[in-house]
Structure 1
Amino acid sequence: MGKRLIVTIDGPAGVGKSTMAKRLARFLAIPYLDTGAMFRSVAWKLGQGAWEWPEADIEKALSGVEYALSGVGEESVLALNGVPIGDEIRTEQVGMWASNVATLPVVRTFLKKAQQRLGEKFSLVAEGRDMGTVIFPDAPHKFFLDASVEERAHRRFLQLEAMGKPADLKELEAQIAARDHQDRNRAVAPLKPAADAVVIDTTEMDREQVLAALKEAVA
C-alpha cells in the first residue's frame, strides 16, 4: 500500500467546506471525511443539554460509538455504529448543540482519536475546524476557507430555500455570527488557520474558482 495522502480543509460554518472537500476528494479519487458530521452526530446522539452532564456520563454514552468510512468523493459514506449518518443531524439546532459539545475536552479527545484512526486507514480529504491544527498537523496540504458572515448566511439561505425549508436571512446571520464567536473563542482547539495553511477568502469567489485554487495547490 502506498503512502496515505491527507488533505485538510478548515473554516467557519457555512463557508462551503463540505462542497469543496467532496469535490476535491473526487478529483483525488479518495474518501471525504466530514468531521463536522461526527460532532453533529455525537450531539444528536447525546441530545440537548448533554454538554452539562458529568464527564463520566458522557464517556459512558460514547463508549459504544464507532465510526466507519467508505466510498469516494461525494459518494463517501460516514456511518455511526454501522448506520449511515443522514439529514437528521443537519438542522441549525443540532449545529448549535454540536458547537456546545465541541467545547468539552472529553468529546474532542474521543473524536480526535476516532478521526485519526480513520486517517490511519485511508487517504482522505478531512473537513472541519481543527483538522490542520490538531487532528492532522503533519498533513502535506492544508487549507483554511473563509468568507464574510453575510455571504455565508446568504449561501445557507439559498441552500435551505432549494431544500424547501423556510429560513430568515437575518436570523441565519445571527446564528452564524454566534457560532463563529463560540468556535473562535473556545479554550480547547479554537477555530484558526494552521500556521502553514493556505488561506482562501471565498467571499467574492464562486465554487469553480475555489475548487480550481484547491486543485492547483495539491497538483
Structure 2
Amino acid sequence: MGSIAAVSPAILAAGIRKVGSGLHATHSGNSGIGVVTMSLVVAIDGPGGSGKSTVAYRLAAMLLLPMLSTGLYFRTVAWGLSSVVLPDQDDDTADINDWFDHHEVAVEGQVGLLDGRALDEELRSKRVQEVLAQVSANPTVRRRILELERAEIAKLGSCVVEGRDIGSVVWPDAVCKFYLVARLKVRLERRPEEGLQLLDRDLKDTTRYHAPLKVAEDAFVVDNSDESLDVLIARMGDLVKLRAKSC
C-alpha cells in the first residue's frame, strides 16, 4: 500500500457542521437543555478489488463499530432479478418496483438476505457477475437500494460503511471519507473469479449517469496496493479520530 493523500489541501481544517442530517442529532436531557450527540459514520469507497471489505472490517474492529457492506445489497438484488427481469432501461420501473414490493432484501455481516434466505457464495457466482453492472446502473434499483442503505445506517447510528458511492451519495455527511485504489494487477489477483468483468464493471460504474463511482471532494485517497494492512489501518484510524474531533 502506498500513501494516504488528501484530495483537498484544506481537508484537515474542514469541519462538517450540518445539524440534523445524520451526523448530529439533538435531544433534550433531564435539564431540558439541548444536547448534541454525534453519529460516527465512516465511508469507504473504491472500485472492485481495491480491498474495501477487508479494510472496512479491520477499521471497524479497531474503532469498535459495526460494519455495513452495501455492495451486498446490489449482489442480492442481482441474484433475485437475474431470474425475473434484467433491468437496463427506465421503462422497467414498474416491474422493478413490483419486485421490491414483494421481496425483502437485507444485509447481515458479509451475507445478503433475500426473503430471509442467506446468500453467501451465490453472490460471487457467474449468474450474479453477468448482470451485476447492468442491475447496478438501473436508476430504480439504485433508488430502492438507497432507501435500504440509509435506513440501515440510521439504525446503526455509528458504523463503517463500504461501497461505491457512500461518501458522494448514500451518506455525504460521513465524518470521514476514504477512497481506496490499487494497481490493476493487484486488484485482478484479489478477484481472479471476475477477470475482465471487473474492468467492465469499473467502466460502467464510473461512466453511469446515476451515482457514478467517483472520489468525494472531501475524501482521503488511499493506495491499498503494497503497504502493511496494520500500518494502513492505524493511519486511517488516526484520520478518523482527527476528523471526529473537528466536528
TM-score (norm 1): 0.83
Aligned position for 1:82: 116
Structure-2 separation of matches of 1:131 and 1:5: 14
CA deviation digits over 1:114-166, x for unaligned, max 9? 10001111121111000000000001111000012211001223xxxxxxxxx
Residue 97 of structure 1 is matched in structure 2 by: 131
Shift of 1:17: 0.3
Contact 2:133 2:204 (8 Å CA) reproduced: yes
Deviations 1:19-53 (A, max 9, x none): 11111111122221111010000000111651247
Aligned residues: 202
- Unaligned 5+ runs, structure 1: 158-166
The match for 1:115 is 149
Residue matched to 2:6: none
Task: Verify the 8 A CA contact 2:87 2:138 in the aligned structure 1.
Answer: yes
- State the partner residue of 1:212: 234
Q: What are the residue-to-residue correspondences of 1:22-33 with 2, within 5 Å?
A: 22-33=57-68
Larger Rg: 2
Contact 2:72–2:110, Cα closer than 8 Å, also in 1: no
Mean CA deviation greater in 49-58 or 39-48: 49-58
The counterpart of 2:94, out of the listed 24, 42, 56, is 56
Tell me how far 1:218 sits from its aligned partner. Answer: 1.4
On the 8 A contact 2:88/2:137 being kept in 1, the answer is no
> Residue by residue, what CA displacement relative to the aligned partner does 1:59-116 show, whole Å, maximum 9, x if unpaired?
100113444566xxxx666544334332211235413422211111100100111100
Cα distance change on mapping 1:185 and 1:51 into 2, 3 Å: same
TM-score (normalizing by structure 2): 0.74
RMSD: 2.2
Matches within 5 A, 1:14-53: 14-47=49-82, 50-52=86-88
1:139 to 158, 174, 179: 174
Q: Which residue does 1:149 correspond to in 2?
A: 184
1-side partners of 2:173 and 2:202: how far apart?
26
Using the alignment, how far apart are the partners of 1:92 and 1:12 within structure 2? Answer: 19
Structure 2 partner of 1:180: 202
Q: Which moved more, 1:115-124 or 1:78-87?
A: 78-87
3-state DSSP of counterpart to 2:179:
strand
Taking every aligned residue pair, what percent have the same amino acid on both sides? Answer: 38
Match of 2:44 in 1: 9
Higher helix proportion = 1
CA distance in 1, matches of 2:112, 2:82: 20
Q: Which structure 2 segments of 5+ residues have no match?
A: 1-26, 28-36, 242-247
Distance 1:176 1:198, change over 3 A: same
1:30 and 1:147 mapped to 2: Cα distance? Answer: 25
Write the distance in 2 (CA, Å) between the matches of 1:96 and 1:11. Answer: 20
Between the aligned partners of 1:3 and 1:145, the Cα distance in structure 2 is: 25
